Amino acid sequence: MTIFRDRLPTAIAALTAAVACAALCAAPAAAQNKPAAKSAAAATAPLPKSPTPEWIKMCGKDAKAGTEICGTENFLLAEAGNVVGQIRVLDIKKGKEAKRVFAAQIPEGFLIQPGVNLVIDNEKKPIPGKFTVCFPNGCVAEVPLSDDALNKLKKGDALTLFAANQAGKWVGAKASLAGFTKAYEGPATDPKEYQAKRKAFEDAQNALKQALLKRADQQRQKFEAEEHAKAKTPAPAAKK
């Protein structure tokens, strides 16, 4: 059974600019004499605004396995608005058996053992989940959804998914819950409409990606210019 039709689609796999920015800004580089003031101004320029992605419902059947699956899906966003993961609330039926699960696909680089934590609004008690499989460019985690948890999703404003980075620090990404109930309880989206909506969102995300990469490069240039200036500044004379 394939939970995700793609292994991190283009809009996710290519849009890890926030991580790239952090690496570029922190990593030492060969000093170049670049104008720092210009880079600093450009680095604070407003980013293009990407539209908030809609919740979309898709359903399908596996005749051989006798399984019916409906997934109500959306994307996890970083603070800058770029995609960092894909999420789905899955309802899986096989004969008389039924299963409901929250599935998330996020980039690689997170610790597997701690799993993930799903937080709805400001709930103090997160719902824990586990990673189930990893691909070369990301991993899938599943969180079981009780009726109570589903109702909280329907009534909530936002969800946050937390995972532990390599330093052991829990970091989160958010998704708005606006429109979730309507999509979840409604019919499946027409495939052509699905493709059109996702294409429009991906185009906006690609523009944001380019802006984030440009900002990261400008911040790198600023860092290099500052390091170059420090290297040219003579050390203060020792007091006698």
Q: Is residue 4 part of a domain?
A: no
> Which SS3 state, helix, strand or coil, does residue 21 take?
helix
SS3 content of the chain, % helix, strand, coil (to 5): 35, 30, 35
- Give the DSSP H or E segment for 215: helix 191-232
DSSP 165: B
**Residues in Cβ contact with 145 at an 8 Å cutoff, skipping those fewer than 6 apart:** 89, 100, 101, 102, 127, 153
Q: Is residue 239 part of a domain?
A: no
Q: Is residue 231 part of a domain?
A: no
CATH number at residue 109: 2.60.40.1880
Which residue type is seen at 85?
G
Higher pLDDT, residue 206 or 121: 121
Q: Is residue 214 part of a domain?
A: yes
The answer to whether 56 and 183 are in contact (CB under 8 A) is yes
Which residue type is seen at 78?
A
* β-bridge mates for residue 90, sequence order: 71, 101
Residue located via tokens 């890890």: 16
How high is the pLDDT of residue 82? 83
Question: How many domains are contained in the chain?
Answer: 1
User: pTM to 2 decimals?
Assistant: 0.68
Q: Is residue 218 part of a domain?
A: yes
- Give the DSSP H or E segment for 207: helix 191-232
Structural domain including 145 reads 10-223
How high is the pLDDT of residue 9? 42
How high is the pLDDT of residue 51? 66
Q: Is residue 2 part of a domain?
A: no
Q: Is residue 234 part of a domain?
A: no
DSSP 73: E
How high is the pLDDT of residue 173? 94
How high is the pLDDT of residue 206? 74
pLDDT digits 0-9 by tens, 70-119: 999 999 988 877 888 999 999 999 888 999 999 999 998 999 999 999 99
Q: How confident is residue 213, by pLDDT bands cut at 50, 70 and 90?
A: confident
Q: Is residue 180 part of a domain?
A: yes
> 73: closest CA among 202, 194, 204, 203?
194
